[in-house]
Amino acid sequence: MIKTNGNVYSTKSADIWLDSIGIIHINYKQGMKINIKHAKENHIKITEASLNLKRPILADIRKTKFVSKEARDYFSKHELLKIGLAGAIIVDLPITKAMGNFFLKINRPLIDSQLFVTKTDAIEWLKKYL
């Protein structure tokens, strides 16, 4: 089991930490509707957790209700370049993964990004960026 480095940063919408192998984790809280304000607040905490180094990022969005277009755009474009090497997003259902993959093809994040249904698969994929 991969452990945290000890610091967990909580925002209104997520818990964020750096694990012992160098991956940033973002666990979104139950029932959240993520908007641009949440995205910006989380970006600040992700930067703190990363110790100002570019790192792979694992975002677990299974508990969220909704992510606004503005929040998706914020993280898929310029802001993510400052903090991320790659992005793995965990979704809850294969159908959500299929829809998300369509979104990734249209939106084209500026870092390598992929959707997963399991955390184990997501972490294995991110390890190649360490």
User: What pLDDT does residue 22 have?
Assistant: 95
CA distance 77 to 15: 22
Based on the structure, what is the number of domains in the chain? Answer: 1
CA distance 129 to 11: 26
Residue 76's CATH number: 3.30.750.24
User: What pLDDT does residue 1 have?
Assistant: 56
**Between 97 and 62, where is the model more confident?**
62
- pLDDT exceeds cutoff 60 at 102: no
The angle formed by the CA atoms of residues 106, 111 and 115, to the nearest 5 degrees, is 65
- pLDDT exceeds cutoff 70 at 100: no
Confidence of residue 26 (pLDDT cuts 50, 70, 90): very high
Domain encompassing residue 28: 4-129
User: What pLDDT does residue 101 have?
Assistant: 53
User: What pLDDT does residue 37 have?
Assistant: 97
- For 6-25, what is the mean pLDDT? 94
At position 38, the amino acid (one-letter code) is H
> Tens digit of pLDDT for each residue in 34-68?
999 999 999 999 999 999 899 999 999 999 998 89
Q: Residue 51 gets which letter from DSSP?
A: T
The three-class DSSP label of residue 52 is coil
The sign one gets for the Cα dihedral 106, 50, 68, 61 is: positive
Say how many CA atoms lie within 13 Å of 115 toward its Cβ.
19
User: What pLDDT does residue 46 have?
Assistant: 93
